[in-house]
Amino acid sequence: MTLVSETIEHAAPAPAAAVRSRVSVPLRFADGFTADAEVLTFSGLTDGKEHLLLALGDWEQALLEAARGGSGPLVRLHSECLTGDVFGSQRCDCGPQLREAVERIAAAGGFLLYLRQEGRGIGLYSKLDAYALQDGGLDTYEANLALGHGEDERDYTAAAQMLGALGAGTVRLLSNNPDKAAQLGALGVDVSAQIATGVHASPANLRYLTAKRDHTSHTLQLPSDAGPGRDEPRSSILAGSAARPAAAVPVVVPTHDEMLARAQGLIAGLRERAAETEQLRRVPDSTMAELRSAEIFHMLSPKAAGGFGMGLETYVEVVRRLARGCASTAWSVGHLVEHVWMLARWPREAQDEVFANGPAPLAAATGAPAGVAEKVQGGYSISGRWTFASGVMHSEWALLAAQRGGVRLQCLVPLADVEVLDVWHTAGLRGTGSNDILARGLFVPEHRALDWERLAAEANPGSELHQDPLIHTPMGALLNMVAPAAALGSAEYAVELFRELLMVRKVKHTVETRQADSPLAQVRYAQAYGLVAAARLHWQEAVRVVSASHARRPSTMTDRERADYRLSLALSGEASAEAVRLVMTGSGGSVHRLSHPLQRIQRDVNVLLNHAALTRDPVLEQAGRGLLGLGFTVPTF
């Protein structure tokens, strides 16, 4: 039996259908994610089935942009799966794909088509019969054939009709299935891009996903290669040089400039949602969806796991640019990206677990204060309360420091195994959700507990698995880069807002038409502008010193280099904060309203200055010791 896509090469455009009704439906998923959908029904569909279209996000704007030559709304054709969508079956990946699609489409603007084609078109009972045959050893396609059905009986004519009824002649297709793009194209819908979904693998569905990858060329990067035969042993995703299955689409790594352009494109949305971010005390779901769509979390992920393996310069520039939109988001993203890099330094067994669902596993990491670890059979029992767990509200893993005698361990645990305490009520950086983590007697298997010094060293276990240069560097320097980048980006945004105010604001009891006409205002603006320029130069010098050390082997910095880069970061943060202070004192009373972004910037930068990377006195003390050749009195890591 041939696939449907092989029989429709010369299919005619789908006949017209019409919208018969539309209704607004608020959606809420089990994990708490919410979205507003406009649900449309149709008349004139060729198969007579009750298919639905969910219009999500700013879909009308996406259609307008497509009419002007744009790439079209984001669209997913999702075939009904009662067992996966409703009951959470792990034999397939349908439920997680549905959840992911709604979030990504809501962020981008587009349509989710819920098609009543259960079991790839063979129906619910037949699908369950196929499950029974799969339990006997057949794969998902062989089971369909054994029942007398086709491997895939789905026809997407109705989908093309539904899109046509809304004028969606050009779309970006969210799918791993090449057959969907082929059918839509043959039916007159221009698929401008096919965008892969995440890989939602589990032990229960790995054979199913492997069959889709190998038999119908789904673009899936699986955590392990089940191979063509059912009885062949699986190999690690990181084994040898075969980092990705041969059938998977190669990762296209953006250039430095392309990655910065992606970050730049997010700034306007971050500014619009900055107040919401503060109110929620975490990064909003819509922002997280945009960040995932831009593949921001892939930056430091190793190429062998499907990431980009990019360098320090790209990473810190992205954080700085995001801070021009929202410091809390920049802070959270910076640490979540950094933690992916930390996970890539672990031994193979741990990496196979954390990278099982894709190249960007999100993890919170905290070591303040360290917990207590006791050796038990097969691993460790850890207890403690850890603070400042940035990124915890969006993570699936946690990296926790625990002390066992004179050895400091980092323990990798599923977030579901710990308690997250809602304690993040702060004046600044409110949107980071850096809550506390609590664990009592939590068992951590041996392979998920690692000596901190080994993890932080240049010759870490991950350096034996990956060629990406940044994984072959000591950990310490990178851990200090987020706060200064966020402070600098925030100060740059503050000066931008200050300029806008000066050009339009009329100051009471003065003769100037606008504040910019005042010589005092001109002096203040020049001072603030110059301070930001100085902050930028100090920051760039720190990045240069660290990058230069990364470019050599061994890459461990000398005491002089360590002093130089820490001093430059501290001076950059100090100049950024002073620029914000000048802006605030020259902007009038209205900027202290909670609705004004400048008051939020001021509070965020004030909190940033208390981070260890920017706390003036201890940093200057250690820098002075390094510059004088007296040696440091605090550990390198």
Query: Which residues are identified as catalytic?
Result: 152, 154
DSSP string of 205-224?
Answer: THHHHHHHHHHH------SE
Nearest CA to 163 out of 263, 42, 270, 276 is that of 42
Neighbours of 616 (CB within 10 A): 14
Query: Tokens for 371?
Result: 């917990």
* Closest to 152 in 3D by CA, of 160, 137, 138, 141: 141
94's tokens: 């349908």
> Do the Cβ atoms of 346 and 462 come closer than 8 Å?
yes
Contacts for 410 with CB less than 8 Å, ≥ 6 apart:
365, 367, 399, 400, 401, 402, 449, 450, 452, 455
- Report which residue type is found at 471: I
Residue where the block lists tokens 């190793």:
302
Q: Are the C-beta atoms of residues 355 and 347 closer than 8 Å to each other?
A: no
Query: CA dihedral in degrees (45, 50, 51, 53; nearest 10)?
Result: 100
The partner residues of 41 in beta bridges, in order of sequence, read 21
In eight-state DSSP terms, residue 387 is B
| Residue 74 near residue 105, CB atoms below 8 Å | yes
Of 88, 146, 141, the C-alpha closest to 119 is 141
For 135-158, letters b (16+ CB in 10 Å) and e give eeebbbbbbbeebebbbbbbbbbb
The residues that bridge with 26 in the sheet, in sequence order, are: 36
DSSP lists the bridge partners of residue 401 as 410
Of 41, 43, 75, 39, the C-alpha closest to 54 is: 39
Can you give the three-state secondary structure of 446-494, one letter per residue?
HHHEEEHHHHHCCCCHHHHCCCCHHHHCCCHHHHHCHHHHHHHHHHHHH
Q: What's the one-letter identity of residue 510? A: T
Please give the Cα distance from 504 to 278 (Å, whole number).
28
Residues present in the chain in total: 637
Residue 26 CA to residue 588 CA, distance in Å, equals 41
Q: Which two tokens stand for residue 307?
A: 């990431």
Question: Which of the 8 DSSP states describes residue 118?
Answer: T
Q: Are strands 379-386 and 436-445 parallel, antiparallel or unpaired?
A: antiparallel
Cross-strand bridge partners of residue 23: 39
Task: Write the DSSP symbol of residue 629.
Answer: T
For residues 213, 218, 222, 228, the Cα torsion angle rounded to the nearest 10 degrees is 10
Tokens for 408, please give them: 């400091």
